[in-house]
Amino acid sequence: MAKDAKSRRTANLATPNDLGANASKEVAGGLNILLADVIALYFKTKNFHWHVSGPHFRDYHLLLDDQATQIDAMTDVIAERVRKLGATTIRSVGHIKRLQRVLDNDAEYVTPADMLAELRDDNKELLKHMRILHEVADEHGDIATASLIENWVDETEQRVWFLFETGRRTEG
């Protein structure tokens, strides 16, 4: 019985697919880094949502909550795509920390304008990384991953646009 339990614990989690080992490794690796970035961006967006203040509080609070919800919706899809590719995905906060490129912001106070600008820049950086990952998926004929990324690019471009327009200073 103990031998069976041990073999089940160490069973290969590789899901079969037709992309090949190299494709699965490269695309899944990129997706795991993207997942770490998305989770870090989600927490930063929620952090700013929870701590925004000032005369536009309600508008910013709702905008950031909407954006956080959209970002959060990506996480399970990314992780499940990694598993479909036959790889394992993020297992802990420490794992996220080792992979993430989105920087945390633990400042006690951030102005609303700085929050919007920082999130805009983070989303722009995320766009750059998604486009690179799309090229990797294309190189390996991974249509499913490329298709998902195309939708995420569109959503991220919208977040950048909203953050830019909301943070724009008008004269007059």
Q: And the tokens for 72?
A: 């959060």
Domain membership of residue 151 (yes or no) is: yes
DSSP states along 48-94:
HHHH--STTHHHHHHHHHHHHHHHHHHHHHHHHHHHHTT-----SHH
Sequence-distant (≥ 6) Cβ neighbours of residue 29 within 8 angstroms = 87
Domain membership of residue 102 (yes or no) is: yes
Q: Tokens 């695309």 map to which residue? A: 27
- Number of structural domains (the chain) is 1
Distance CA 46, CA 128 (A): 22
Q: And the tokens for 70?
A: 């959209």
Per-residue pLDDT of the chain (172 residues; tens, 9 = 90+): 556 665 555 456 667 788 877 888 999 999 999 999 999 999 999 999 999 999 999 999 999 999 999 999 999 999 999 999 999 999 999 999 999 999 999 999 999 999 999 999 999 999 999 999 999 999 999 999 999 999 999 999 999 999 999 998 754 4
Domain membership of residue 9 (yes or no) is: no
Domain that holds residue 82: 40-167
Phi-psi label, residue 142: left if phi above 0, alpha if psi -120 to 50, beta otherwise: beta
Domain membership of residue 4 (yes or no) is: no
* pTM recorded for the entire structure: 0.90
Domain membership of residue 115 (yes or no) is: yes
CATH number at residue 94: 1.20.1260.10
